A = this chain, B = another copy of it.
Amino acid sequence: MAGDQLSAVFSALADPTRRAIIAELAERDATVTELTAPLSISMPAVSRHLKVLERAALISRSRSGKWRASHLEAAPLREAADWIARYRRFWDSSLTRLDAHLAAVQAAGPATDRMADDPRELG
């Protein structure tokens, strides 16, 4: 299981250490040693976390001498965000008219659409 891209991304994000690494890389590229420093685990453990992130395409890595820098790649995060966004209508009360319309269409539920009586169509 968990073979598809989305699963790999969510699975990568499920670990707090990896989220911390992502947060760090959001500020600057970093070497394995730099990433290990603030964490309370060994460097091999960090190395494997990086491999997981790399497999999920959440980071890319460049070699320069004996250092390897990790760089955040956000494209998979967008896919994850897009997936979650499908359910945005379930929590967001400030829906735009377009969102409401699409939500109504997707839900295929006529009664639940509170804006169905609004004559204004989306522009």
The chain A residues found within 8 Å of chain B, CB to CB, are 1-2, 4, 6-7, 10-11, 13-17, 19, 22-23, 26-31, 33-34, 62, 64-65, 67, 69, 71-72, 74-75, 77-78, 80-81, 83-88, 90-92, 106-109, 111-112, 115-116, 119, 122-123
State how many angstroms separate the Cβ of A102 from the closest Cβ of chain B: 11
Cross-chain contact B111 with A26 (CB below 8 angstroms): no
Q: How many copies does the complex hold?
A: 2
A81 CA to B108 CA in the complex, in Å?
24
Indicate whether A26 sits within 8 Å of B78 (C-beta atoms), given known contacts A2-B15, A16-B4: no
Q: Which of B4, B6, B33, B111 contacts A28 (CB 8 A)?
A: B111
